Chain A
């Protein structure tokens, strides 16, 4: 692995931490009784989050990261199964957005 690749991995990891932390903050902000034990493995279904809450959370995430997340409350989406899957989805959208921004 070249030094450049290593740096990219490092960026991604530190990025992951920052994204995850922000997303957990957003989740807690939208919970009535925020739990301190939210990790990447935590299913959203454990967090007392209903469909309208999810729309609000998706909005907050979009607003925070300046991205657009495709989400339809009428459809079951795997991306919204756990905190970690949301973090992965947001990271992939951020990198797509950056890539298309760089190309433009």
Chain B
């Protein structure tokens, strides 16, 4: 039992995702359980002159089927992912929306993005500089800004309290969720939507990633001896967090308790991660939760399949978990949905929550031959049943920005 010393407790009452392996939580979870890979040859844009031609695209995404707001239908794809994920979370929670009166000021919309409406910008610059168009679309600016998803979601649900986007590259979603958690705990709000979305798959941005020489031309195989880089993907995830008594009072479904959050910065290097930064963030999250590492049953790893991340993360896990490092079930679900960048953390947190609800650990696919230096239980190739009481989700970003969430069971 978690000792909260009388502080406000925070529960998850709704979750929503849009990913390359499913555009809602039931589809997503079922795909992860089966080990479905959502990475393939890019169809969304011409890959002419690129040597990276694979990605995790959200296929068959038609916002008109999902969204009713005209403003969101005209928004950038990243905002539409966030809008769909928020809608799924709100519907699941049974929250009466739009919020009215004082309640609207006691709610937050913290929806970030690693880079916001980059595709809108790219296509607009192309139109201006290459196609010599005389004007850009009047919504170019509003579609591009990195706070537009948070704003759209606040408009949609009448959220009038804290509303902005968080930016921390591939830790964005995790920081967003963590921030909502802290706001609720500290009494600033009673509920909030937290998460992030990314839809930056485009020719120019792939070119920029390609130039960093960290992408794999073949596939994303975390912890594998054969891993040769990460694979870009798109998607988004949003959690509805709520103060425990508030959730109980209105009879909301409680999916999990968010019990711990840790964040650190390596303050070292833009691309080479440190064991100190990652392990301290994990330890902080455990200390915040008031549990030991040995209590964690499932760890959703950052697991990007770059040479440096997977070894560094493995060493950090060993430092924090000690002897129990061999007992925790770990997986990198990026092997299936790809690296959803800023949106990854809330998608992966959803996997960590589902593992807890379903007592099932999703696999790391493509792991037939592990790297000798990555020698923990990464749940290779096939998921498995396991009682999961506590789960952890790691996000580590360029710049050395680390954020970790710990979930526990429904406390009621």
Contact = CB atoms under 8 A, between A and B. Distances in A.
A71 B212 CA distance: 10
Interface string A41-55: 000000000111011
A74 B271 contact: no
Contacts of B213: 51, 54-55, 58, 71-73
Contacts of A73: 212-214, 229, 306-307
Contact of B214 (A50, A58, A70, A74): A74
A59 interface: yes
A59 B214 contact: no
A73 B398 CA distance: 15
B269 to A, nearest CB: 8
A74 B211 contact: no
A52 B229 contact: no
B267 interface: no
Interface size class of B (residues with CB under 8 A): 10 to 19
A3 interface: no
- Summarize B's interface: helix, strand, loop or mixed: loop
Contacts of B227: 74
A52 B270 contact: yes
A75 B212 contact: no
Interface in B171-215: 211-214
Contact of B228 (A52, A55, A72): A72
A97 to B, nearest CB: 15
B307 A59 contact: no
B272 interface: yes
Given A52-B212, A55-B211, A55-B213, A72 B229 contact: yes
B216 interface: yes
Interface string A28-67: 0000000000000000000000111011001100000000
Contacts of B308: 51
B229 A74 contact: yes
Interface string B209-247: 001111010000000000111000000000000000000
Interface of A: 50-52, 54-55, 58-59, 70-75
Which 9 pairs from chain A and chain B are nearest by CB?
Answer: A74-B307, A73-B213, A55-B213, A74-B229, A74-B228, A52-B271, A73-B214, A71-B213, A55-B212
